[in-house]
Every structure is written in C-alpha cells, then in structure tokens.
C-alpha cells in the first residue's frame, strides 16, 4: 500500500506499482535491462527505457539548448553593438529603445544558461525531483528583463516626445533597423526550433520574444522616414509603438511562464496518455492521471483499476505494461509511477470516488 488511500484489500491482492527506475522491477538481467527471454518484445520499439539512457538524452537536450543560447547571445550581441554605434551618431530614441531591447534579449541567455547547467545536476535527498525547476525560475527572470526593457523604452520615448530634436544620419538609422530585423528573425527561428525539439517552454518563449523584436526593429524605419520628411515627432512616436509591442511580448511570455510554474500541460498530452492506458490489457479504468513538467522533462503519476481477482504479481505486470504504454505514447516523458488498484468488492465504495469527493469538499 502506498499510503495514498486508507482502505484495505486482501494481502495477496494489495496495490501494485511500476516505476520508471531502470526497470529493476522484475525484468531480470543486469542493470535493469530486459532479460533474453523478454527482449524480443522490445524489438519492435528500437529505444530503451533504461534510466541511464534517459539521463543521457536529457543531457544531450540541455547541451543543445546551451548551444542555442550562446549562439543567440553572439548574434543578438553583435546586432545590439552595431545599433548602439548608430544610436550614438544619430540620437534616435526609437533606435535606442530597439537597441536596449535587443541587448536585454541577448542577456536573457544568461539566466537560461545557468538554468540548463543547474538542471543537469542529479537529484538529491533534499531535491528528490532534481533541479529542472531552475528553468522555470529563469523564465521568471526573463519576464522581469522584458519588463525593465519596456520601462526604459517608454521613458526615453516620452522624454523625446516632450523635448523634440532632429535625428541625424537617417540612412544609417534605416540600415541599423534592417540589421536588427535580420538578426532577431534568425535568432527567433533558431530558438523556437531548438526549444520545441527539446521541450523547453522558456526557450520557445524567448524565441517568440526575439521574433517580435524583429518587427519592432522594422518600425524604426517608419521613424526614420518621418524624420526624413521633417516630422520631428515621428521618432518618439515610433519609440512608444515599440514599447507597446514589448508589452504584448511581455503578456505572452508571462502567461507561458505562469502556466509552467502552475504545472500546466497541454491537454492533448493528457488525452494521449489516457488513450494509451485504456488500450493496455487488464486496465479497467483510469481514475487518476497527472502529468507535470520538471524543466523540459515530463513525469507522470497514474492510478489504474485492474481486476480484483488478480494476484499482486499479475497486477504488477499490468502496471508495467501501462508504464511502457505511457513511455511510448507521450513525447518527452522520462518517468512514470503507475499505481494499480483492484476493483472494489460488491457493496464497497470506489476509494477514488471517495477521495475525489473528500477533496471537493
């Protein structure tokens, strides 16, 4: 019995569990690998459930994420430096706001980089789920960075709106705007592609942020065009428009990070997991199914109902089959705990229904 329920069952038909811990639970063979007798069943699915293999794949994902961050930092840093030179020459506040935002976007690589490094550390007795949550904290740092850049862009634009002045070197301002767009769009495509591949919501959110930055860079062209025809307020007005665009990015990034911190998952993943479990022979119902992200890895906690006449060993085999089905059906799922409950005898209430009623009360 796992302590989650207080109801009793016959000793030989007690709860059975299957956990993704290298499959040391009755598969035989060394280091939890399937024995020769069981290996043919694994051949149609050419991947391993071994815990060491999962750690290796997670490390590879983190290394790929780190590479994406540092490449993004280099590209956006070079873009911001080129724009900063033009800001000094021209005095354009629209370009200044865009430059500050690009620099802030480049610097977001630092908290994400730290998060990926920390996330590689092994679980401890204090942090039993590991350090994957560091990535969520990095997402919060990114939200704060975007907020600061929006405030700075708004302040500079309002100051110039109240104290207008001419913008010099307009062709250079226009060229810097194009450079900002190209740099941000390249980084956006790269970050989103890598983030989706490794399952990093923070990296995807950062990529979407960079994409919007590219279009705000193009908006600087409008300010340069207005200044070219003698409209002195064009530059600060475009600066305010850039601020509004940054606030939209802030809203989306904050929503994404909030969902991750609150353990939200795509309902489609839950549907896929539930469908896979219902196809497992011996599974009657799936009264409880929970998924959660820890960094860019998914964990599952599941309760399934099996025939009450099964022995503990038979119920365990059903739980192991359910675990395998989950690992095959849910992308980026690296760990699963499956709890098997017997069907209640006639006249006995369903313990899961009682628990749900108690929680609702």
The enclosing domain of 225 has a CATH number of: 1.20.1510.10
Q: Are residues 22 and 108 in the same domain?
A: no
Task: Report the alpha-carbon distance of residue 144 to residue 97 in Å, rounded.
Answer: 17
Q: What are the tens digits of pLDDT across the range 149-207?
A: 788 878 888 888 888 777 888 889 889 989 999 998 998 899 888 888 887 776 787 78
Residue-wise pLDDT for 270-311, tens only, equals 999 999 999 999 999 999 999 998 877 889 999 999 998 899
Q: Which domain holds residue 132?
A: 52-261
Structural domain count of the chain = 2
Task: Report pLDDT digits (tens) over 242-267.
Answer: 888 778 878 887 888 888 888 889 99
Would you say residue 5 lies in a domain? no
pTM score of the predicted model: 0.63
Q: Do residues 60 and 205 share a domain?
A: yes
For residue 1, being part of any structural domain is answered with no
- Are 219 and 329 members of one domain? no
Kindly state whether residue 279 falls inside one of the protein's structural domains.
Answer: yes
Is the residue at 88 inside a domain? yes
Domain finish residue from 204, 233, 261:
261
CA dist 58 and 68 (Å) reads: 15
Tell whether 201 and 340 lie within a shared domain: no
Mean pLDDT of 334-343: 91
Residue 30 reports pLDDT greater than 60: no
Per the domain annotation, does 191 fall within a domain? yes
Q: Are residues 28 and 96 in the same domain?
A: no
On whether the CB atoms of residues 256 and 137 are closer than 8 A, the answer is no
For helices 109-119 and 134-162, what crossing angle results, to 10°? Answer: 170
C-beta neighbour count of 10 within 10 angstroms: 10
Quote the CA–CA distance of 115 and 128 in Å, as a whole number: 17
Residue 16: strand pairing partners: 340
The more confident residue out of 53 and 306 is 306
Say whether both 63 and 151 belong to one domain: yes
């Amino acid at each position: 019995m796992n302590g989650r329920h207080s109801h009793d069952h016959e000793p030989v038909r007690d709860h059975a569990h299957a956990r993704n811990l290298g499959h040391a639970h009755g598969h035989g063979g060394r280091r939890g690998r399937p024995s020769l007798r069981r290996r043919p069943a694994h051949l149609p699915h050419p991947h391993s459930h071994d815990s060491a293999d999962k750690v290796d794949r997670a490390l590879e994902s983190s290394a790929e994420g780190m590479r994406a961050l540092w490449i993004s930092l280099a590209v956006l840093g070079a873009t911001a430096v080129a724009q900063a030179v033009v800001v000094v020459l021209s005095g354009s506040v629209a370009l200044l706001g865009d430059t500050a935002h690009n620099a802030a976007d480049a610097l977001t690589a630092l908290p994400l980089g730290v998060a990926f490094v920390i996330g590689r550390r092994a679980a401890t007795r204090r942090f039993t789920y590991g350090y994957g949550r560091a990535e969520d904290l990095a997402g919060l740092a990114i939200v704060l960075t975007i907020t600061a850049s929006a405030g700075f862009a708004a302040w500079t634009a309002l100051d110039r709106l109240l104290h207008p002045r001419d913008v010099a070197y307009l062709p250079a301002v226009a060229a810097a705007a194009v450079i900002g767009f190209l740099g941000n769009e390249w980084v956006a495509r790269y970050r989103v592609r890598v983030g989706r591949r490794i399952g990093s919501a923070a990296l995807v959110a950062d990529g979407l942020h960079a994409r919007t930055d590219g279009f705000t860079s193009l908006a600087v062209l409008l300010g340069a065009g207005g200044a070219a025809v003698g409209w002195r307020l064009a530059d600060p007005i475009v600066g305010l428009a850039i601020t509004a665009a940054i606030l939209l990015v802030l809203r989306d990034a904050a929503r994404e990070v909030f969902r991750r911190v609150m353990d939200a998952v795509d309902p489609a993943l839950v549907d896929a997991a539930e469908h896979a479990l219902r196809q497992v022979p011996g599974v009657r119902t799936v009264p409880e199914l929970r998924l959660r992200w820890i960094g860019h890895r998914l964990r599952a906690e599941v309760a399934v109902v099996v025939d009450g006449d099964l022995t503990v060993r038979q119920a365990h085999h059903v739980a192991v089959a359910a675990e395998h089905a989950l690992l095959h059906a849910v992308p980026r799922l690296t760990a699963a705990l499956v709890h098997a409950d017997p069907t209640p005898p006639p006249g006995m209430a369903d313990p899961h229904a009682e628990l749900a009623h108690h929680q609702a009360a």
